[in-house]
Structure 1
Amino acid sequence: MQDILRDICIYAVPLLLAVVAHEVAHGWVAEKLGDPTARLLGRISLNPLVHIDVVGTVLIPLMLLVTNAPFLFGWAKPVPVQFHRLHGGRRAMAWVALAGPLTNLMLAAASALVYRFVVFLFALGLGSGVWGLVLSPLFLMARFSVVFNLVLMAVNLFPVPPLDGGRVLTGLLPRSLAFQVARLERFGMFIVLIFVITGWWGYMLRPVVNLFARIFL
């Protein structure tokens, strides 16, 4: 039980920051491009309480953690965006969608800097005693933050709407092709579920995550 509580403390902070910052980025870019909906609803905030999805932010990560799953995943409530209010049409929609994964990439890079700094302090012999009580959890937290943000980035860039990658694709493709991709949205999560069940999901995402993880870690 003590180990579970420790793990929750180590993993909860980077998980919450990753999913909250992802949604805030969507809302912030949408506001800059003409849609203040997220701001008006109080969603451009780092306060996790306004973004928590009971299933995606609490139950799913907790279940994966307790069952010692090989990965940890979660999500926050999507920030509402009225795409018809954006200045720039479909290209603006693509920028709003891309903002979330790019934010996770930046968080992964920042976490990697913390990770490397802690490794440097360990090399100086500061891994024991009082320093160790602080640095050891920080080391695990930074490492998890890198991996989780990279997974969140890769998952959301999967090119099927309503995931961010699908919206980016819809915003960049010629109108006729974009319309065909947009029609997949009602089947999007079913398609994702098939990829997860068959294991194809891992084959597609693992190379992306491993590539950036090797660079950062």
Structure 2
Amino acid sequence: MRSTAGSTAPTGTRPERPGRIRRFTAAERWVHRATGYLMLLCLVTAACLYFGPLAQLVGRRHLVATVHEWSGILLPAPVLLGLLSPAFRADLRRLNRFAVYDRRWLRAARRRLRGPEARPAGKFNAGQKLYAGWIAGAVLVMMFTGLLMWFMGLLPFISRTSAIFVHDVLAWAIAAVLLGHLRKAYEDPEARLGMRTGWVDRAWATRHHAKWLEEEPVGTVSGKTRENADDG
């Protein structure tokens, strides 16, 4: 049995689903879910440390601070483990490449135009690529400033006040961006289903990610995605 378009499952390992195609493997979904849980833990513990009423309600400040520190340090761990998956590495390459049609997608988004012709996209649209790049950079800066606050002698020429200021401002920015990410996910049940089960409706993929279907021919198998995917 051959794989469906966009599938990363080896031929014969899983039956095709009529009208549906494989979007994410189990490894990719695990990375997304584990990263999300760690990020949520970071934000919840940060709120308990930052807001006085919450701090009094929860108590155990030292324990909350320890959980916050270690959840932040472990944030990159799911991504690093995900590098063992060929499908995940292929998706990172897609996210790191900005195609010609991605610029068209951004122009259409600024003009509030809709439709597959106005907003062409590969497996990930331009907004998702920008979000992934921004959140990855923000997490690294948060880890860096957090370590400076934890080990004050690490870089003595940077004051604790400066590290706290950057850490706090960026935390608010991350919270706002994550709320926008969750709102977009809530508005698209099929996208959520794809992240939860790995499978999406072919008609949905045609409407929102037509370039992906063009670039991933029928018969694609695990670890053998096209190197020029999303190059435009």
More helix by share: 1
Give the structure with higher Rg (CA).
2
TM range (shorter): 0.3 to 0.5
Q: TM-score, normalised by structure 1?
A: 0.33
Q: TM-score, normalised by structure 2?
A: 0.32
